[in-house]
Amino acid sequence: MIYLDYAATTPLDPAVLQVMLPYLSADGAFANPASTHGPGYKARATVEKARAQVAALLGAEAAEIVWTSGATESNNLAIKGALEFHGRRNAHIVTSRTEHKCVLDTCRHLETQGARVTYLKPGAGGLVSPEQVLEALTPDTVLVSLMWVNNEIGVVQEVQRLAPLLRERGVLFHVDAVQAAGKLPIDLRETPIDLLSVSAHKIYGPKGMGALYVRKKPRARLAPQMHGGGHEWGMRSGTLSTHQIAGMGAAFAIAAERLASDAGRLSGLRDRLWQRLQALPRILRNGDPGRAAPHILNVSFEGVEGEALRAALPELAVSSGSACSSATQEPSYVLRALGRDDELANASLRFSLGRGTTEAEIEQAAEKVIKQVEWLRELSPLWKP
């Protein structure tokens, strides 16, 4: 099996696992980090060390990191929390059609509560221009939510150019940075983003763990979505999961160390894969290649049927569209938003590379795809050479 689905999830880094294990046993720091006794303080120290590690990768202050159960929760907390805090009935949100499902579904939910949402259509390369965002603003716009790197096509949005423009206009800016963290340099001291979501399991940390960056200066205000003991400055109640948090901290620290070398290696492999696939005529790369994240390559294959293509590649763990939308077997809404028709969107593969990916795997994957696409095209009534 060749695993090329690192954008869906990554395995735990073995060093991360070692960091996590002691917090799960009776002789380790298992105490509640909120408890005011020796063992509690010890667990608390672990949590705070991890908070500083996550903050460091983002160029943030430790006190700006709020622990969550993953980026789905972070995105929910950012968007619902900001809107609820502002409490305006006719509040307006600007986002794009190519956001992750958890952002789009949150926005859809808020529409049922009276909010207005503009879903911007990106250009053919998947980019939403800052100008497009500014044009969509109204006096009622509370929040703009835009992802840094798209999880399906890997396109890198111009969030660094957009952020100061939104700051000038007093509009909150939320960024889903799940696929950017550990892949691209992020410095929140220089980029005035107000809210930013990250996840542990996309960068070799544990599943079920994430964080939301909430800016302190100027302070981004949120209504909590999880009520209870008032943990996390009242923004997210619930006993902190010390082992998960320690794992996320370790994963982020490793990502910071490896950022430049990982990005260089992965973009080289990504380019090699694309170059090899071009042995096939009439294939299309999805997403502007000039603004591509290092780890994602998305390709549409003309003249083959999507389901047949996937069935012909059983030893390749790749994603068609995204993992969530493939459960519903519908053509990817991201590719549809770029203007691909249903047939082409279906006949697309997302290759996402990671630390375990080797040159040999890339060669084998390319070979298999080329062979199967050629074979399917020969059989296909859709293919007219």
Ligand X SMILES: *Cc1c(COP(=O)(O)O)cnc(C)c1O
Q: Based on the shown chain and the rule CB under 6 A, indicate whether residue 179 belongs to the binding site for ligand X.
A: yes
Q: Based on the shown chain and the rule CB under 6 A, indicate whether residue 251 belongs to the binding site for ligand X.
A: no
Q: Are 246 and 45 in contact (CB under 8 A)?
A: no
SS3 81: helix
How near is the Cβ of 198 to ligand X at its closest, in Å?
8
How near is the Cβ of 128 to ligand X at its closest, in Å?
15
How near is the Cβ of 22 to ligand X at its closest, in Å?
24
How near is the Cβ of 15 to ligand X at its closest, in Å?
21
Query: Which residue number, 73 or 305, has a Cβ lying nearer to ligand X?
Result: 73
Q: Based on the shown chain and the rule CB under 6 A, indicate whether residue 151 belongs to the binding site for ligand X.
A: yes
Q: Based on the shown chain and the rule CB under 6 A, indicate whether residue 183 belongs to the binding site for ligand X.
A: no
Q: Are 281 and 237 in contact (CB under 8 A)?
A: no
SS3 116: strand
Q: In terms of residues, how long is the chain? A: 385
| Interface with ligand X: number of residues (CB under 6 A) | 13
User: 102 catalytic, yes or no?
Assistant: no
When binding is defined by CB under 6 A, the residue of 72, 98, 348, 357 that contacts ligand X is: 72
Q: Based on the shown chain and the rule CB under 6 A, indicate whether residue 146 belongs to the binding site for ligand X.
A: no
Q: Based on the shown chain and the rule CB under 6 A, indicate whether residue 224 belongs to the binding site for ligand X.
A: no
d(C-alpha 151, C-alpha 384), whole Å: 32
Q: What is the DSSP string of 296-346?
A: EEEEEETTS-HHHHHHT-TTEE-BSS-HHHHHTTPPPHHHHHTT--HHHHH
Query: Which residue number, 13 or 176, has a Cβ lying nearer to ligand X?
Result: 176
* Angle, helices 38-58/242-277, rounded to nearest 10 degrees: 30
Touching ligand X, residues 101-120 (CB under 6 A): 102
Q: What is the DSSP string of 271-306?
A: HHHHHHHTTSSSEEEES-GGGB-TTEEEEEETTS-H
Q: Based on the shown chain and the rule CB under 6 A, indicate whether residue 199 belongs to the binding site for ligand X.
A: yes
Cα-trace Rg, the chain = 21
Query: Which residue number, 8 or 222, has a Cβ lying nearer to ligand X?
Result: 8
Q: Based on the shown chain and the rule CB under 6 A, indicate whether residue 10 belongs to the binding site for ligand X.
A: no
Query: Which residue number, 179 or 372, has a Cβ lying nearer to ligand X?
Result: 179
When binding is defined by CB under 6 A, the residue of 178, 313, 334, 373 that contacts ligand X is: 178
Q: Are 156 and 149 in contact (CB under 8 A)?
A: yes
Q: Which of 324, 343, 355, 364 is catalytic?
A: 324
For ligand X, the binding residues (CB under 6 A) are: 70-72, 100, 102, 147, 151, 176, 178-179, 199, 202, 210
> Which residues form the catalytic set?
324
